[in-house]
Structure 1
Amino acid sequence: MAHIKVQPFGTLVTGQEAYLYTLKNKNNMTVSVTNIGAAVQAIVLPVKDGQKRDVVLGFDSAAGYERTGLYLGATIGRYAGQIRGGSFWLEGRQYHLFKNDHENTLHGGRRGFDKHCFTASLEEDDNKVTFRAWIEDKEEGFPGNLEVEASYELTDKDEVIMVHRAHSDKDTVLNMTNHSYYNLDGHDSGSIENHRLKIYSSQFLELSEDCCPNGNVLDVSGTPMDFLTMTRIGERIRRPDRQLHISEGYDHNWTIGGPTGTMKKVAELESSARDVRMELYSDLPGLQFYSGNYLNGGETGKGGCRYGLRGGLCLEPQYYPAAPNYRQFPSAVLRQDETYEHTIRLKFCCTPG
């Protein structure tokens, strides 16, 4: 039976206690998660010559997660990405949200799931931690009292399985994801521009000048958005391309084919030396790739590391940003009598030294 290590992780300004939960598999891979924001704090891989490598950015205590505005490792909700104009219509009624990104609502508003303190339950037989929270009706302007879960399971196949579940007592919109910043060279190793990335998609969502999708879906062919084959992330990131200029790098959503609810491989990522590989699977219709454009050294992470420009990248399976504003996008509506349940699976592989 697996043993889940539980450690104190600091006290929040509200007086609530934060904890760190560490899962370990038979290969000595570990995953650490915290109840503040139901966030991933560390993924530590055994690499060559008995060394260990932590491949996600994070903080040494809850205070870092409480302060940051960059969502490191967090569970995102109620709505990952933007909602245009900070409002949407549902069943003939308009809902007005808190605007925290230009004139839009980003990642749930001023207080998204990343700032909630979740309760944890341990399932040691499954090497799994499940975090639960109650999100009140009208928080940040969204309708419905919401019961939400985010669980993390570590398998002996070096997989991290993340499952997001929710129920609402009213029709609402919901778009949950995980916002881990990955750096397969090590969380403190600097830029990810020499990582190689493949995205299983031939289309992406065009951004307006405010970094929010404008409803158009474009083909990647002939653009810097073409990751249909393994491509070095820094290869085209400085091209004089309008889409790259708007977001100061990659911060776009790619469309993932196939029916929602069917697991499929959506991306592959390789470290600079190609000694660590991550495969990403999801049952959601979109994938946000963000190249860490707004990391600027202002975040002091684990071990006192300063996370600078492109010190990590995010791969966030999700519904499309701004889907509540565009009928042509797959619907992100959660009905009162439905269960929201989606899965993200990470598979890690290290090349022996």
Structure 2
Amino acid sequence: MSSLPSITSAPFGPLADGRATTLYTLVNARGARADITDYGAIVVRLFMPDRAGRLDDIVLGYNSVTDYVRSSPYFGAIVGRFGNRIAHGRFTLDGQTYPLATNNTPGNLPCHLHGGNVGFDKVLWSATPAVVDGAPTLTLQYRSPDGEEGYPGNLDVTAVYTLGHDNSLRVDYRATTDRATPVNLTQHSYFNLQGEGRGDILDHQLQLHASHVTPVNAGLIPTGRIAPVAGTPFDFTTPQRIGDRVDAPDEQLQFAGGYDHNWVLDSQSGQLALAATASEPTSGRTMQVWTQEPGVQFYGGNFLDGSAVGKSGQPYGRRSGFCLETQHYPDSPNQPAFPSTILRPGQTYRTSTVFKFSAR
């Protein structure tokens, strides 16, 4: 199948304050398609071919903006200002302590998660569609004002989605600030390579190019250690079935109810490098994740409980999707030994992640 690449738009529904949201449809020359909304910069649908060429939607999500507003575990969104957790909902920067929302309580230990009560997943971005070098692109911009969710500085953020000729979805991030502030952006799609709403992801094979992990405490905050994965259920240095060890009697797995941890990628060059490969045997679909980031959070959908009913009318049960969130390490503002997430005036935050799809 071959056609001209295109990007079109349609209404996606109003927000409570009357502002309109828009859904943009990106189609590449091979017929692959991404539906992305300016609310939360969310990837609503992602259609990729299986080994027979059949297109299926492989990300979890909803059919209307109303459902995303009502309740969403960050389905498909750009997450910020700081993706992942910050211990106790506070950090100290240049001698000043900044309190943040404690909107997550794993192990009954409050922490700050994914930017707070109204993170970047819950704001309306400004969108500019275009076809660039034959590839449909959507440029999304948002200004996070000084003090929003407790963070210092006016932060200007740009996220550019590109649906490539090679069936890749690329995300290029850029940000600048007028005061020093932590920045850690990520893309939070939940994937099921068999198709959304088609059961759990336990039969997927996963390989992570990471020989170390950052262990966590009962509140899912890194302890500060960088621990080898060899000999543990966290060793995905060779392809492993996700379900084989997810319920092993391991304290780290028990803390999170399965996998919800940050892997330290072997490549720390800051260049695009292969971080992960996931494949699904029934469809033959394979996804590679390439990133410039030093870490990736593999989350196995442990907290999905069937209360969210997705686009195909099927409830999303436990482990019905998985995330590979490329990132700096959780709680980095409080852990000086971790790679810094502090952006200062005059600097530009730049990072890219590519999700590349094929079938075999």
TM-score by length of 1: 0.97
How far the C-alpha of 1:7 sits from its partner, in A, is: 1.1
**Counterpart contact for 2:50–2:283, Cα < 8 Å:** no
Check whether the contact 2:210–2:265 (CA below 8 A) recurs between aligned residues: yes
SS in 2 for 1:246: helix
| Secondary structure, aligned partner of 1:63 | helix
Equivalent residue, structure 1, for 2:288: 279
Letter in 2 for 1:36: Y
Structure 2 partner of 1:19 = 22
Shift of 1:258: 3.3
Residue type of the alignment partner of 1:115: K
Note if 1:219 corresponds to 2:228: yes
Q: Which residue of 2 aligns with 1:82?
A: 85
User: Of 320, 333, 341, which residue of structure 1 is paired with 2:350?
Assistant: 341
1:113 aligns with 2:120: yes
Question: Alpha-carbon deviations, 1:244-296, whole Å to 9, x = none?
Answer: 00000000000013345211000000013261000000001110000000111
Q: CA deviation at 1:150?
A: 1.3
Map of 1:192 onto structure 2: 201
Letter in 2 for 1:62: V
Structure 1 residue 303 displacement after superposition? 2.5
Once residues 286 and 49 of structure 1 are traced to their aligned partners in structure 2, the CA distance between those partners, rounded to angstroms, is: 34
Quote the offset at 1:92 in angstroms: 1.3
Letter in 1 for 2:101: F
Q: Take 2:254 and 2:268, find their aligned partners in 1: how far apart are those partners?
A: 32
> Map of 1:159-308 to 2, 5 A cutoff?
159-273=168-282, 275-308=284-317
Aligned residue type for 1:15: G
CA RMSD of aligned residues (A): 1.2
Using the alignment, how far apart are the partners of 1:346 and 1:289 within structure 2? 14
Aligned to 1:8: 11
2:69 alignment partner in structure 1: 66
Q: How far is 1:47 from its partner?
A: 2.7
**8 Å contact from structure 2 (residues 86, 334) kept in 1:** yes
Q: Is the 8 A contact 1:160 1:345 kept in 2?
A: yes
Match of 1:100 in 2: 103
Q: Which residue of 2 aligns with 1:321?
A: 330
Are 1:41 and 2:50 an aligned pair?
no
Cα distance between partner residues in 2 of 1:91 and 1:195: 44
Distance 1:47 1:69 in 2: 27
C-alpha distance in 1 between matches for 2:238 and 2:355:
19
Per-residue displacement from partner, 1:200-225 (whole Å, max 9, x unpaired)?
00100111011111211111011100
Which whole-Å deviations, capped at 9, do the CAs of 1:185-244 have from their partners, x for residues lacking one?
101111000000000001001110111112111110111000000000000011111000
Q: Which amino acid aligns with 2:67?
A: G
Q: Is 2:77–2:121's contact at 8 Å kept on the other side of the alignment? A: yes
Alpha-carbon separation, structure 2, partners of 1:234 and 1:258: 26
Q: What secondary structure does 1:7 align onto?
A: strand
Contact 2:60 2:189 in 1 (8 A): yes
Shift of 1:50: 4.8
3-state SS of 2:6 partner = coil
Match of 2:129 among 101, 114, 122: 122
Offset at residue 96 of structure 1 (A): 0.9
Distance 2:302 2:288 in 1: 22
Q: CA 1:346–1:50 in 2, change beyond 3 Å: closer, same or farther?
A: closer
- Does the 8 Å contact 2:262/2:296 carry over to 1? yes
Name the aligned partner's letter for residue 122 of structure 1: P
Mapped contact 1:37–1:65 kept (Cα < 8 A): no
Write the letter of the residue equivalent to 2:116.
G
Contact 1:36 1:66 in 2 (8 A): no
User: Which string of whole-angstrom CA distances, capped at 9 and with x for unpartnered residues, describes residues 48-73 of structure 1?
Assistant: 44522111111101112112240000
Segments ≥4 residues shifted beyond 2 Å:
46-51, 257-261
What is the alpha-carbon distance in structure 2 between the residues aligned to residue 45 and residue 33 of structure 1? 15
**Letter matched to residue 128 of structure 2:** S
Runs of 5+ unmatched residues, structure 1: none
Q: Specify the SS of the correspondent of 2:127.
A: strand
Residue type of the partner of 1:21?
A: Y
1:165 Cα offset (Å): 1.0
